[in-house]
Amino acid sequence: MAQRFGGRFSPGASNIPQPKGPPVHRLETRVKWVTIAAIPFLLSAFWQDPVGLVTNLAGFGIVALGAILTREGLQAEAAYDARRVARRPAWPRKLFGGILTGLGLAVGAWAPGALAGAALIGAAGLALHYLAFGPDPMRDKGMEGVDTFQQDRVARFVAEGEEYLKGMQDAILRTGDRKLQARVAVFAETARELFRRVEEDPADLAAARRYLGVYLMGARDATVKFADLYAQTGDASAKADYGALLSDLEGNFAARTRSLIEGGRTDFDIEMQVLRDRLAREGVRPQEPERASLEDRRGMELTDLIRETVKAGRKPD
């Protein structure tokens, strides 16, 4: 079915909320040049003997597969960089993409009696790939003191929540209404803010568990039923009711995220006060900052202050 084109700067688009897109790596646009550089293998393959035909086609296919892995590795790295707490990717896609790129160049350049030259070209391709795209993230970030068992539970709940959001977005496509699709996308981003908060602090899972499961499942089911009804009847009142439901859900999810952040601040204040009480019981007094001593000498004359500073062996500021 044809769909009217529109965007941020299209007429009548000012009232359409613009959802945030997924994180994009700044080097992702370079990947296409890897495949483009291998096109001569594809074009020259049909003017070769059978062995040359097979090696050229295989070289182009392996390089293209390496480009796909490299793009996935860059997307995984962008998602890793966008989070304050993240695990390293399950396997180094960029590394394997570089290996496949070098292997594809070596296979495409191979000829009888030219094994050393083909290997040298493959090694150069691997080195250039590493210089162009860099290494994969190889360490967890912000995971110090995080319970891995709780982190795995959070990952399962977040994956379940993502499935519900995907179901909502797939269902709303049946309405053909761009404003509703954008509203659902904005709500999905609000829900993902809560996901990221729980990922950063798995202790918040208990407070957000219903939001990650029950409420999102209800929102998915309501979206499916609304999409079926609106696609058949085009009921304006049902559309208004569904828009109000999305607004309520978005406000509730945003409020829950804010409450978790404020709860984290409260926990920090409590821990800080407990530590101060323990230090006081041990007879350790907190050290006064240096600016306090300067305030005590605020009434001194400038010459006296300089004389005292020089006597202490310091240059005057």
Q: Nearest-CA neighbor of 56 among 41, 67, 66, 46?
A: 41
Please state, in angstroms and rounded to a whole number, the distance separating the CA atoms of residues 202 and 148: 9
Q: Nearest-CA neighbor of 79 among 159, 232, 196?
A: 196
Please state, in angstroms and rounded to a whole number, the distance separating the CA atoms of residues 259 and 270: 16
- Kindly give the confidence (pLDDT) of every residue in the chain, 317 residues in length, as a single tens digit, with 9 standing for 90 and above: 444 444 444 444 445 555 565 677 788 888 989 888 888 888 888 888 888 889 999 999 999 999 999 999 998 888 878 776 667 788 899 999 999 999 999 998 888 878 888 899 999 999 999 999 988 888 776 666 555 666 778 778 888 888 999 999 998 998 888 888 888 998 898 888 888 888 777 777 777 788 888 888 888 998 998 888 888 888 888 888 888 888 888 888 888 888 877 765 555 555 566 566 666 666 655 554 444 444 454 554 545 655 665 555 544 44
pLDDT digits (tens, 9 = 90+) for 15-62: 555 556 567 778 888 898 988 888 888 888 888 888 888 999 999 999
pTM for the predicted model, two decimal places: 0.56
Q: What tokens were used for 53?
A: 């035909």
Let me know: does 80 contact 89? Beta carbons within 8 Å: yes
Q: 40: helix, coil or strand?
A: helix
Q: 92: helix, coil or strand?
A: coil
Let me know: does 67 contact 97? Beta carbons within 8 Å: yes
pLDDT digits (tens, 9 = 90+) for 260-281: 777 655 555 555 665 666 666 6
Q: How far is CA 88 from the centre of its chain?
A: 12
Amino acid occupying residue 168: M
Q: What tokens were used for 235?
A: 């009921």
